[in-house]
Structure 1
Amino acid sequence: MTGYDAVLFDSDGILVEPPASETQLEATQAAFREAGVDDVAPDHLDDIVSGVTVEVRHDICTDYDLEPTTFWEARERHDERSQFAAFRAGTRDRYDDVATIADLPQDRGVVSNNHHSTIEFVLDAFDLDSLFETYYGRPKTIESLQVKKPDPHFLERALADLEADSALYVGDSEHDVIAAHRAGIDSAFVRRRHCRDDELSVTPTYDIETLSALPAIVDG
């Protein structure tokens, strides 16, 4: 008898390599240029790339006299295009140990802070569709910033889809661990190269080096 009804996965940093910060900065600069702003303070670019909130986005738009919805639509559009381009060019790839997921007996899903359309692209481009029964990313809207992880909103939707009473969420960030705890499920923190030395303020249920550790965990 397996220990979980379902296993949920983050996408960036778990299924596929995370986007390069330089790529995200360039996409954000392109959105500002489209809005007529060529000179943007570096800290404002960093604020948008590294986990922007509704409040931060509002303050930045106020500073540059930008219409918030129009600017955010441009930012999301340029960000999505830059990610698609990186995947097509092969500068972002799937992790080899994702093959492990196919051997898990549980129902599976994807929950990401990335755009829903980007998750669709990833699952199709890397032939991962058959591995997952449900998946969620953000709509490209300002409002979606309010339900990003660590908010458990999309985790709870995936759990409802899978009718799962017990589940494990596999991620690569502190926000993933917090979101899992808030959703009332266990967490596995995967120490990929980009987060190998991260010190977390919360304790994941499991701290692992690779997805290859999952079969032993979920068979418990």
Structure 2
Amino acid sequence: MKLRQKVAAELVGSAFLVAAVIGSGVAASRLSPHDVGLQLLENSVVTGAVLVALILALHPVSASFNPVITVLERLLGAISTRVAAALVAAQLTGAAVGAVVANVMFDLPAVSGAQHVRSGAGVWLGEVVATLGLVVVVFGTLHGADSSRVAFAVGGYITGAYWFTSSTSFANPAVTVARTLSDTFAGIAPVSVPAFVLAQLLGGAAGLGLVALLHPRRREAETSLT
């Protein structure tokens, strides 16, 4: 598979993922304006369902959509530094495009700085836990006999993690940065981003250690979404 195909898949997948996160958040807040719990349910179900669809469609080319996963694939030797850098750039670009498109679809300004501050030790711990769990789910499923199940595993995990983590499971630096571009239900204030990304990186590192413990003999081909 050529690098330009992988880059295109990561860009498109990240764009659709963020459009789903932000767009469903806007729709939920409009359809259920007085029930935050219902809004979160709608947001989480849509995000999980879209993740399943995107991974199933793009997994044959590249379907990480997440710089943490891509960096861990590089550390595991599944991809080169050049490929990892190109994919992360595509993920960040695609995520930003998805945020802008979601805003415009709902007749909002193309870019509006999010004001929702998300901070606190509990929230940061939630991001560590969310990302650690995502890493274990992704690489654990890829290690199994049927790696095609990763789409359902990831979609199901993210849907649930919206609810059981205090941070509502961003678990993705590209998505986190992109969500600063939309002052809506799913937005996050720029000031909150550094701590979130640090928590995600810590969760990714812890997840990698746990994966190494659980699957010490995994092969390169079994540990790549790209």
The verdict on a shared fold, with TM-score over 0.5 as the criterion, is no
Structure 1 or 2: more helix by fraction: 2
Instruction: Determine which structure has greater relative contact order: mean sequence separation of CA pairs < 8 Å that are 6+ residues apart, divided by chain length.
Output: 2
In the superposition, the TM-score normalised over structure 2's length comes to: 0.29
